[in-house]
Chain A
Amino acid sequence: MSLQISIREGIKTITRNGSLFFLSLLVVSISLFLLSLFGLVTINLYYSLRILDEKIEIIAFLDEPADITTLKSNILKIHGVRDVIYVSSDQALKELQRELKETEEVLSIFEENPLPASLRIKLDADYRNAQGLEDISGKIMLLRGVKETIYGGELVDQLKKITKAITAFDIGLLLIIVFSVIFVIFQTIKLTIFARSREIEIMKLVGASASFIAVPFAFEGFVQGFVGGLIAFVLTIITYQIAVVYFFGELYFHFWWFFFGDIACGIIFGIIGSGVAVQRFLK
Chain B
Amino acid sequence: MISFNRVTKIYQKDWVGLKDITFQIKQGEFIFVCGPTGAGKSTLLKLIYKDEDPTEGIIKVLDWNLGTLRKNNIPQLRRKIGVIFQDFKLLQDRTLEENVAFALEVTDIPPRDLRKKLMETLTYLRLSHKRFSYPFQLSGGEQQKVAIARALVRDPYILLADEPTGNLDAKSSQEIMNTLFDINYKGTTVLMATHDLKLVKKMKKRMIYLEEGKLTTHN
Q: Chain A contact residues: over half helix, strand or loop, or mixed?
A: helix
Identify the A interface with B (CB < 8 A). 1, 5, 9, 16-17, 196, 198-199, 201-210, 212
Query: Which of B72, B79, B91, B94 has a CB less than 8 Å from the CB of A207?
Result: B79
Give the most central of B51, B74, B103, B106: most A CB within 10 Å: B106
B79 touches A199 (CB 8 A): no
Give the most central of B49, B79, B105: most A CB within 10 Å: B105
A203 touches B78 (CB 8 A): no
Bound complex: CA A17 to CA B91 (Å): 13
A210 touches B72 (CB 8 A): yes
A199 touches B106 (CB 8 A): no
Whether B27 sits at the interface, judged by CB under 8 Å, is no
Identify the B interface with A (CB < 8 A). 49, 51, 72, 74-79, 81, 83, 85, 89-94, 102-103, 105-108, 150
B85 contact set on A, CB distance < 8 A = 205
Which 5 residue pairs are nearest across A and B when measured between Cβ atoms? A207-B78, A207-B79, A208-B106, A16-B93, A209-B75
Bound complex: CA A150 to CA B18 (Å): 93
- Nearest-neighbour CB distance to chain A for B84, whole angstroms, equals 11
Query: Which of B76, B92, B102 has a CB less than 8 Å from the CB of A206?
Result: B102
A207 touches B107 (CB 8 A): yes
Further pairs besides A9-B105, A207-B79: 9, Cβ < 8 Å: A199-B92, A202-B90, A203-B91, A204-B78, A206-B106, A207-B76, A209-B106, A210-B75, A212-B106
Bound complex: CA A201 to CA B108 (Å): 20
Query: Which of A196, A205, A208 has a CB less than 8 Å from the CB of B83?
Result: A205
Q: Could you give 22 example pairs across A and B, Cβ below 8 Å?
A: A5-B105, A16-B93, A17-B93, A199-B91, A201-B89, A202-B90, A203-B91, A203-B102, A204-B75, A205-B51, A205-B89, A206-B102, A206-B103, A206-B106, A206-B150, A207-B75, A207-B76, A207-B77, A207-B79, A208-B75, A209-B72, A212-B106
Q: Closest A-chain residue to B50, C-beta based?
A: A205
Q: Closest A-chain residue to B106, C-beta based?
A: A208
B106 touches A203 (CB 8 A): yes
Bound complex: CA A241 to CA B31 (Å): 75
- Nearest-neighbour CB distance to chain A for B113, whole angstroms, equals 14
Bound complex: CA A17 to CA B79 (Å): 27
- Nearest-neighbour CB distance to chain B for A279, whole angstroms, equals 13
Q: Closest A-chain residue to B76, C-beta based?
A: A207
Bound complex: CA A57 to CA B81 (Å): 81
B93 touches A199 (CB 8 A): yes
A207-B79, A210-B72 known; A202 vs B103 contact (CB < 8 Å): no
Q: Closest B-chain residue to A212, C-beta based?
A: B106
